[in-house]
């Protein structure tokens, strides 16, 4: 069976993807510097899948460390999750973001090329669509960014497209995620945000468990169903399954492909809040605030390309996502340790 290197494999999306890779029969090697995750996640992956992945505590900025991973393992393909992801923080410390997400990624691509491993799945984001002219958003829509984090994603897309032009042996899938939420049904792995969450569902989870008092709803004067922002929330397990299909596709094709991973459905902030109320069984307080700068009204994916190319479609709905988020929150009050 093929061996897949998962960078950022102890992180939120990476850990769920490791579980699905192991279930699909792949050998998995995880590389992570544990900046935003814990080594205990590897035990959780083992509890779910029966296999503990081989682990390297390595930074993608460390070229020698990367070389060691490729020297010691015959890697057939890489799924590259490692990186920083906080939009607001990227505005404060752009150079740190460019160094980690661009320089670190280039190091990884160089190490891959040197080892003759030219098959890659990259974590991009719907943020590369900037403020889309219409919805649903198709992969051929124009791209633009409004913050350094988004720029690191778009630059990686450009870099990898250039790499594929320069060498036709490369195969790269650029997966543009919409809004991943939820957790594994076991409640053993999920998202553990650092500090007070910025994202909607991790914030609601803390209102539900009493750590935070109420949800601040950023604006209710958007042209949407109830005036609050609409997004395409996708269950992290669906997203992980999309990566299995993506790796299979990448191993059997050449060149670069851009693919949306979303459900194609949009939910408003209040709709998500109400779904979470159902999940946790009580009313949750909220206050309407001013709009958050940089937010757009509505964002959801056109999912046809993913269905056609990968044969993949999300199957979990918003109630499943909130149920699994709440289950993980209840079972892990102190995160994963
Ligand atoms: P995460 O922070 O949970 O996981 C990222 C992992 O990368 C962490 O375990 C962290 O320790 C590791 N890491 C960071 N810098 C590293 C470095 N220099 N060397 C080695 N490891 C390093 O984040 P996530 O939510 O799982 O996101 C995974 C990827 O998906 C990221 O690239 C992110 O930008 C992208 N993405 C996430 C979302 C989202 O909403 N979660 C949306 C779109 C795209
Ligand atoms: N929201 C609130 N209150 C909160 C948090 C969020 O009302 O406390 C609202 C936002 O205004 C927005 C929606 O909930 O309408 C979703 O907000 P998130 O912060 O959860 O997600 P975004 O869509 O703003 O951003 C996410 C990722 C980015 C990524 C972007 C596009 O966090 O990294 O999707 O893919 F770039």
pLDDT in tens, 209-225: 999 999 999 999 999 99
Q: Is the pLDDT of residue 1 over 90?
A: no
**Contact of 23 with 50, CB cutoff 8 Å:** no
pLDDT at 323: 98
Tell me how crowded residue 86 is: count the other CB atoms within 10 A of its CB.
18
Tell how far the Cα of 79 is from the centroid of ligand 1, in angstroms.
Answer: 11
pLDDT in tens, 273-297: 999 999 999 999 999 999 999 999 9
Tell how far the Cα of 8 is from the centroid of ligand 1, in angstroms.
Answer: 6
Distance between CA atoms of residues 264 and 234, nearest Å: 9
Annotation marks residue 84 as catalytic:
no
Residue nearest to atom 29 of ligand 1 (CA): 81
- Which atom of ligand 1 is nearest the CA belonging to 82? 7
* Domain covering 3-181+232-264 assigned CATH 3.20.20.150 in the classification: no
pLDDT band at 193 (very low <50, low <70, confident <90, very high): confident
Residue nearest to atom 5 of ligand 2 (CA): 200
Tell how far the Cα of 181 is from the centroid of ligand 2, in angstroms.
Answer: 11
Residue nearest to atom 31 of ligand 2 (CA): 127
Distance between CA atoms of residues 16 and 11, nearest Å: 9
Domain ranges of the chain: 3-181+232-264
Alpha carbon dihedral 336, 26, 79, 55, in 10-degree steps, equals 50
Instruction: Starting from the CA of residue 287, give the closest ligand.
Output: 2
Q: Residue 257 has what DSSP assignment?
A: E
């Amino acid at each position: 069976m093929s061996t897949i290197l998962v960078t950022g494999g102890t992180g939120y999306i990476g850990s769920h993807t490791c579980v699905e890779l192991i279930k699909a029969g792949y050998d998995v090697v995880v590389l992570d510097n544990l900046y935003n995750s814990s080594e205990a996640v590897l035990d959780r992956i083992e509890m779910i899948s029966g296999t503990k992945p081989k682990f390297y505590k390595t930074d993608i900025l460390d070229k020698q460390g990367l070389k060691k991973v490729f020297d010691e393992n015959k890697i057939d393909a890489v799924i590259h999750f490692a990186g920083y992801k906080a939009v607001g923080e990227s505005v404060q410390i752009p150079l740190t973001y460019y160094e980690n997400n661009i320089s670190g990624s280039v190091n990884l691509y160089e190490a891959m090329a040197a080892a003759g491993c030219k098959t890659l799945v990259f974590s991009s984001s719907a943020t590369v669509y900037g403020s889309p002219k219409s919805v649903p958003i198709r992969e051929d829509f124009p791209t633009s960014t409004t913050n350094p984090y988004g720029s690191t994603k778009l630059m990686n897309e450009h870099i990898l497209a250039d790499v594929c032009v320069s060498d036709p042996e490369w195969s790269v899938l650029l997966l543009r995620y919409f809004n991943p939420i939820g957790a594994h049904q076991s409640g053993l792995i999920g998202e553990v945000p650092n500090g007070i969450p910025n994202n909607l569902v991790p914030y609601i989870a803390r209102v539900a468990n009493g750590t935070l008092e109420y949800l601040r709803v950023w604006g209710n004067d958007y042209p949407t169903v109830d005036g609050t922002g609409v997004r395409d929330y996708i269950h992290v397990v669906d997203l992980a399954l999309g990566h299995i299909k993506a790796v299979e596709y990448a191993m059997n094709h050449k060149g670069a492909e851009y693919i949306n991973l979303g459900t194609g459905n949009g939910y408003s902030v209040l709709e998500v809040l109400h779904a979470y109320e159902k999940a946790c069984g009580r009313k949750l307080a909220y206050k309407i605030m001013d709009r958050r700068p940089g937010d757009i009204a509505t964002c959801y994916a056109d999912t046809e390309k993913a269905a056609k190319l990968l044969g993949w479609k999300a199957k979990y709905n918003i109630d499943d996502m909130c149920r699994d988020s709440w289950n993980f929150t209840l079972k892990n009050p102190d995160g994963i340790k």
